[in-house]
Amino acid sequence: MAASMATSLSSLSHRLSLRPQYLPLLPLKPSSLSFSHHVPSPSPLLSLRCTPPESEASETDPIPEQEQEQDQEQETAALEEEEEEEDGEPPMFSGPLFDWPDETEEESGTAFERLYGPAFSGKSYLGGNINCMDGVLNKLIDEFDNLIITRPVDDFKDRVIQVRRVTKVVKGGKNMSFRAIVVVGDGKGHVGVGVGKALEVAEAVVKAVINGRRNIVTVPLTKHLTFPHRATGKYRAAEVMLRPAAPGSGVIAGGAVRAVLELAGLQNALGKQLGSDNALNNARATIVATQQMRHLADVARERGIPMEELWK
């Protein structure tokens, strides 16, 4: 009998172990899933528990109403601090651009007028004349015109050789203008010839000076301020002959040739016009002749021999 009962119990337990889904599941509350009572050491991983139901919440958990009251108190304190800062010195700005306080029309107009002057709006916030911009523009135009006429501060000097009235024939008739020929030089071996045309003589001279400064050349000079050797220059129908001179001779030349030699810095030289008497062509022929001259040291350096060999 006992053996049969043991056999039946073992078979029943074996069936229950094979099919555990038939076992009844007991309802468990989240509070009963606490493992901290069975662990001797306070391990943070084993002391987890499910959140207790609302009815069984602990007294230490914050109440939503208390949190709301705390938030209200913090907002009230922040507003009081802002009011205290407004009563005293203004706080330093540290926010984005759209946090700037809105400016009034008078403040923005005053700032604009202080930086750029009064606008053409018919109103001046600083008490200025609303039409003074016309005067400012006229003053700027005058300064610009004077800037063109004003000569730069340097060692260059200019000499007018010739001013002639020229005519241009067009479909509607003749256009009259003036042509000026100017020689520009610093007296240290730099000289240039310029030409300018304009309806007024002053403007023509200014254009000629600018053109001469753009065509500056270097003239070779010796220690006695004369030419190193002879040279002859041709420009179209004009021909100019240049010769060195002894110290104390001075510049023996005439017309445009003399003006070019003096502004170049020569004090002892000979020059003669052999062809046309055109002032512009003779001045340019003089420049061509000076560009043909070279110092003895330059020639010796190009040949690769000492200067003493040049005299043999």
145-155 average pLDDT score:
65
Weakest mean pLDDT among 107-116, 122-131, 271-280 = 122-131
Q: What is the C-alpha end-to-end distance of the chain, expressed in Å? A: 155
How confident is the model at residue 185, as a pLDDT?
Answer: 96
Q: Count how many residues are written for the chain.
A: 312
**Residue written as tokens 């050491």?**
41
10-17 average pLDDT score:
57
b/e map 91-120, b = 16+ CB within 10 Å? eeeeeeeeeeeeeeeeeebeeebeeeebee
The tens digit of pLDDT for each residue in 75-99 reads: 887 777 766 655 555 555 555 555 5
DSSP per-residue codes, 208-238:
HHHHHHHT-EE----TTSS-SS-EEEEETTE
Strand order in the sheet with 269-273: 231-235, 238-244, 269-273, 251-252
- How much is the mean pLDDT over the chain? 77
10-31 average pLDDT score:
52
Pairwise pLDDT comparison (125 vs 182), residue with the higher score: 182
pLDDT at 41 over 60: no
Q: How many CB atoms lie within 10 A of CB 241?
A: 18
How confident is the model at residue 143, as a pLDDT?
Answer: 63
Weakest mean pLDDT among 30-39, 95-104, 166-175, 187-196 = 30-39
Helix 132-149, helix 201-214: angle, nearest 10: 60
Instruction: State which amino acid sits at residue 238.
Output: A
pLDDT at 134 over 90: no
How confident is the model at residue 119, as a pLDDT?
Answer: 64
pLDDT at 246 over 90: yes
How confident is the model at residue 112, as a pLDDT?
Answer: 76
283-299 average pLDDT score:
95
**269-273 vs 251-252, strand pairing mode:** parallel
pLDDT at 141 over 70: no
Q: Is the pTM of this model over 0.75?
A: no
Weakest mean pLDDT among 57-71, 189-203, 231-245, 289-303 = 57-71
pLDDT at 195 over 70: yes
Contact 177, 199 (CB under 8 A): yes
Pairwise pLDDT comparison (239 vs 143), residue with the higher score: 239
Q: List the Cα angle 298/302/308 in 5-degree steps.
A: 65
- Where residue 36 falls among pLDDT bands split at 50, 70, 90? very low
- Give the Cα separation of 190 and 184 in Å (integer): 8
pLDDT at 270 over 80: yes
pLDDT at 245 over 80: yes
The residues pairing with 170 across neighbouring beta strands, listed in sequence order, are 173
- Give the Cα separation of 178 and 200 in Å (integer): 6
pLDDT at 138 over 70: no
Weakest mean pLDDT among 55-64, 66-75, 160-169 = 55-64
Weakest mean pLDDT among 72-86, 211-225, 243-257 = 72-86
